[in-house]
C-alpha cells in the first residue's frame, strides 16, 4: 500500500473531481446543484471520522437524497471512518459507495479485500485539497450553493 491510498477494484475512481466536505443534507444538495450547474463532477466527502458517529445508514441515505434532489449532478462519495475498524466494516457491509480508513496498514489491507468483494471504493488517505463546509453549517442552502459554485468555478 502506498500513500496514494487503495482503490478496491470494481469500484469507481473519481480522479479529477472537486472535493467538497459535507456535514448535512442541505450542504450535499447545494454542492451537487452547484456541480451540475458548473458541469463538473464532485466528490462528496464526510467529515473526518464521521463513519463512527453518523454511521453508514445516515450517510448512504444523505447521498441518495442529495442525488435525487440534483439528478443532473455527476458525483461520487466517501465516508471517512478514520481508524475505526467497526465503522469501516459496517460501511462496507452497508455497501456505501466508498470509505476512507486511516488505521493500521495490516488492517487496511484486509479491509481493502473485503471492500473489493462488496464493490466499495477503499481509500487510505483523505483527498486534498477540498472545500470544507463546516463553517457553513447554519448558512442557507443558497449561500452554501454560492460558495460551492465559487469553488467549482
pLDDT tens profile 18-71 = 999 999 999 999 999 999 999 999 999 999 999 999 999 999 999 999 999 999
Residue 141 and residue 134: Cα distance in Å, rounded? 13
Domains of the chain: 18-152 (3.20.20.70)
pLDDT band at 6 (very low <50, low <70, confident <90, very high): low
Q: What is the mean pLDDT of residues 71-90?
A: 98
CA distances 6 to 9, 19, 26, 75, 89, Å, are 9, 17, 30, 19, 16
Sheet with strand 121-123: strands edge to edge? 121-123, 98-100, 75-80, 42-45, 18-21, 131-132
pTM summary value: 0.89
Number of neighbours of residue 76 by Cβ within 10 angstroms: 18
Residue 32 has φ and ψ, to the nearest 5°, of: -70, -35
Amino acid at each position: 500500500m502506498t500513500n496514494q491510498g487503495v482503490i478496491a477494484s470494481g469500484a469507481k475512481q473519481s480522479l479529477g473531481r472537486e472535493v467538497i466536505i459535507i456535514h448535512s443534507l442541505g450542504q450535499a444538495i447545494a454542492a451537487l446543484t452547484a456541480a451540475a450547474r458548473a458541469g463538473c463532477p464532485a466528490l462528496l466527502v464526510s467529515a473526518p471520522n464521521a463513519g463512527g458517529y453518523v454511521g453508514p445508514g445516515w450517510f448512504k441515505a444523505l447521498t441518495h437524497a442529495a442525488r435525487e434532489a440534483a439528478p443532473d449532478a455527476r458525483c461520487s462519495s466517501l465516508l471517512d471512518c478514520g481508524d475505526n475498524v467497526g465503522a469501516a466494516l459496517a460501511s462496507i457491509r452497508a455497501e456505501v459507495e466508498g470509505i476512507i480508513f486511516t488505521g493500521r496498514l495490516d488492517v487496511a489491507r484486509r479491509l481493502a479485500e473485503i471492500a473489493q468483494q462488496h464493490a466499495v471504493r477503499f481509500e487510505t488517505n483523505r483527498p486534498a485539497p477540498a472545500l470544507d463546509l463546516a463553517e457553513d453549517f447554519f448558512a442557507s442552502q443558497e449561500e452554501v450553493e454560492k460558495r460551492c459554485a465559487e469553488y467549482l468555478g
